[in-house]
Amino acid sequence: MAWQAKILVHNGRSVPFHEARLHPLSVATAYGAGVFEGIRAYRNPQTGRFSVFRLEEHLARLVQGMKVMRFDDPPSADALREGVLRAVRENEPDDDVYIRLQVQIEGLGGQETTGPVGWVAAAVPRQRSARFATGLSVGVSSWIRIADNSVPPRVKATANYHASRLVTLQAKADGYDMAVILNHLGKVSEAPGACLFIVRDGRVITPSRHSDILESVTRETVLTLAGEAGLPVEEAMIDRTELYVADEVFICGTGQELQPVIAVDRLPVGNGKPGAITLRLQSAYESVVRGTTNAHAEWRTPVM
Ligand code: PMP
């Protein structure tokens, strides 16, 4: 059996996991006024030690989100970093950890309310996707991706996931593992909780940051790893039909990790099996997150 979460850190205090409290009329629940990060801590198989992957990049994105949300007296990155490390340490995990770090308006009030702001760092077990090795069958959603001039995707706000849920529920109802979402221009944006890449003629291509994507930490990691592997990389606009003619498609994100896509709208991608470049990048990603390579030690924060 997987380890169990015992505590979470709420406003700097360790609280028994099932006893954490928030008022049901807080602005966080009433209007979805929260920003969060999904972060992973991986166990190194040789040492048994844990390190948090790209913690500083996640903290930086959260700080940007709090600014856009005009939060009063936001918690410092130092306090949040310490909260994350403490949540992992005090839960004494024996396997990989998924961390949710969330900052929210815990006070009551109307839409203009900007505080008091609280935060929570929770560490829970999370299994790898059952499709990690075999690949996902995805469908293009009829829902449209949220946009920067309404619900900015660059801000990882809890409220954004209302749209993602509709996409996911439709995809499940239609018999797909996951969906791909197009933006208001009809160009490929991303999946409901992950970014997307295609491979065409050896080029590794992902929607640009002007495609209404979340500026994903994993996307940036994959672009770096692909470049280091000598593969040409490109950030561009991607058409729906490019998904159908691509040699390979894969998705990536902290929670989803890097997973092949083997069918889009029931058309096979390439030969319908995970592609060679996808598998190479999946393996490179696994080595850097787990620290079985010395490369990019700066991306791993040890949990002491
Ligand atoms: N897009 C969305 C909508 C997401 O929720 C996520 C997961 N945070 C991603 C992309 C991937 O982002 P990251 O690589 O930073 O986890």
Q: What is the pLDDT along the chain (304 residues), one digit of tens a residue?
A: 689 999 999 999 999 999 999 999 999 999 999 999 999 999 999 999 999 999 999 999 999 999 999 999 999 999 999 999 999 999 999 999 999 999 999 999 999 999 999 999 999 999 999 999 999 999 999 999 999 999 999 999 999 999 999 999 999 999 999 999 999 999 999 999 999 999 999 999 999 999 999 999 999 999 999 999 999 999 999 999 999 999 999 999 999 999 999 999 999 999 999 999 999 999 999 999 999 999 999 999 999 8
Say which residues have a Cβ less than 8 Å from residue 281's Cβ, sequence separation at least 6.
204, 222, 225, 226, 229, 250, 258
Q: pLDDT tens for residues 174-201?
A: 999 999 999 999 999 999 999 999 999 9
CA-closest candidate to residue 197, choices 144, 164, 235, 224: 235
Q: What is the pLDDT of residue 304?
A: 87
For residue 193, report the distance from its CA to the centre of ligand 1, in Å.
5
Ligand 1 lining (C-beta closer than 6 Å): 38, 164, 190, 193-195, 214, 216-219, 253-255
Q: For the chain, what percent of residues have pLDDT higher than 70?
A: 100
What number does the ligand 1 atom closest to the CA of 218 have? 14
For residue 190, report the distance from its CA to the centre of ligand 1, in Å.
9
Longest dimension (CA), the chain: 55
8: enclosing H helix or E strand: strand 7-10
Q: What is the pLDDT of residue 118?
A: 98
Give dist(CA 145, CA 14) in Å, integer: 37
For residue 167, report the distance from its CA to the centre of ligand 1, in Å.
15
Per-residue DSSP letter, 26: B
Of these residues, 156, 172, 187, 273, which one is catalytic?
156
Backbone angles phi, psi at 32, to 5 degrees: 65, 35
pTM confidence score:
0.97
